[in-house]
Amino acid sequence: MAGEPAASLKSEAGPGLRIPVHLGVIMDGNGRWAKQRGKRRTEGHVEGVKALRGLVENCINYGVSYLTVFSFSSENWTRPPDEISFIFSLLRRFVASDLQRLIRNNVKVRIIGARAGLEPSLLRLIDDVEAKTARNTGLTLIVAFNYGGKAEIVAAARHLAREAAAGRLDPEAIDEASVADALTTAGMPDPDVIIRTSGEQRLSNFLLWQAAYSEFVFVDENWPDFDEASFVRVLEIYTTRDRRFGGIGV
């Protein structure tokens, strides 16, 4: 992170801290966290869920409005079946055990990603958590599960092509807003910041369209180690960034 201020991990959230409206997080490094401790990869995923709970709390306390977390990518199907089913069971457990807390905390939950191929019982659970939190007005928690940015753009293109073929849409009228409205994130602001943990510096197919002007913050910690101090440090880094959106800045 050359050029970044040497912010202390212990620093308190100062009054001058800029808070992103929408924060995206690529929660990476669960497997390495476990390996470094001589544990199984699945134990890393269990710890990762704990870090996610903490992140949701921090977003509520610091006033973030939208939080999108990458929890399972369309490419993660290439992992061993045991690990995949463990991650799926963790999602089920997270929804079941945390639903009441999310409702109490006024969190609205949305799950984005491909639904095709998911088990009917999991689909029911997803519909249930979305329906039960739909009226909440606090933090919107968007879980990108079985999500791939390219697939999302393909689905949007297919939808627009169908509308045009049916005569309901003039191809000349397609603009950036029409594409954005055809994505699963329709109606949400684009992420201001995208964090990736574990030292990797890539998007891995996360929010490709939406990340056009996001600020990227790469941190070395593995996801289970990402705590409030790490969160504040990211906010401090974001506060120093000059977002120009193609202009010449201030």
Q: Footprint of ligand IPE on this chain (CB under 6 A)? A: 26-32, 70-73, 76, 87, 198, 200, 202, 204, 223
Binding-site size for Mg ion (CB under 5 A) equals 1
Distance of CA 188 to the CA centre of its chain: 13
- Mask: binding to Mg ion, 14-33, rule CB under 5 A, as x and -? --------------x-----
CB-CB contact of 64 with 24 (8 Å): no
Q: CB of 28: closest distance to Mg ion in angstroms? A: 4
Distance CA 81, CA 92 (A): 17
Q: Is 192 an interacting residue with respect to Mg ion (CB under 5 A)?
A: no
Measured from the CB atom, the residue of 83 and 130 that comes closer to ligand IPE is 83
Q: Is 76 an annotated catalytic residue?
A: yes
Which member of 28, 30, 98, 146 is catalytic? Answer: 28
Residue 204 binds which entry of Mg ion, ligand IPE, none, with Cβ cut-offs from 5 to 8 Å by kind?
ligand IPE
* Residue of minimal Cβ distance to Mg ion: 28
The strand ranges marked E within 148-231 are 193-196, 215-218
Q: CB of 205: closest distance to ligand IPE in angstroms? A: 8
Measured from the CB atom, the residue of 226 and 238 that comes closer to ligand IPE is 226
Q: Is 221 an interacting residue with respect to Mg ion (CB under 5 A)?
A: no
Q: CB of 95: closest distance to ligand IPE in angstroms? A: 16
Structure tokens at 188: 């949400």
Helix (H) or strand (E) holding 197: none
List CB contacts of 148: < 8 A, sequence separation 6 or more: 73, 74, 75, 113, 114, 205
The count of C-alpha atoms lying within 13 angstroms of the C-alpha of 5, restricted to the half-sphere facing its C-beta, is: 13
Distance CA 136, CA 56 (A): 15
Q: Is 236 an interacting residue with respect to Mg ion (CB under 5 A)?
A: no
Which member of 30, 61, 76, 127 is catalytic? Answer: 76
What angle, 0 to 180 degrees and rounded to 10, lies between the N-to-C axes of helices 228-240 and 41-62? 60
What are the distances in angstroms from CA 115 to CA 101, 107, 152, 209, 220? 25, 22, 11, 20, 32
Residue 178 binds which entry of Mg ion, ligand IPE, none, with Cβ cut-offs from 5 to 8 Å by kind?
none
Task: Show contacts with Mg ion in window 27-86 (CB under 5 A).
Answer: 28
Residue 25 binds which entry of ligand IPE, Mg ion, none, with Cβ cut-offs from 5 to 8 Å by kind?
none
Residue ranges that bind Mg ion, judged by CB under 5 A: 28
Looking at the annotation, which residues are catalytic? 28, 76
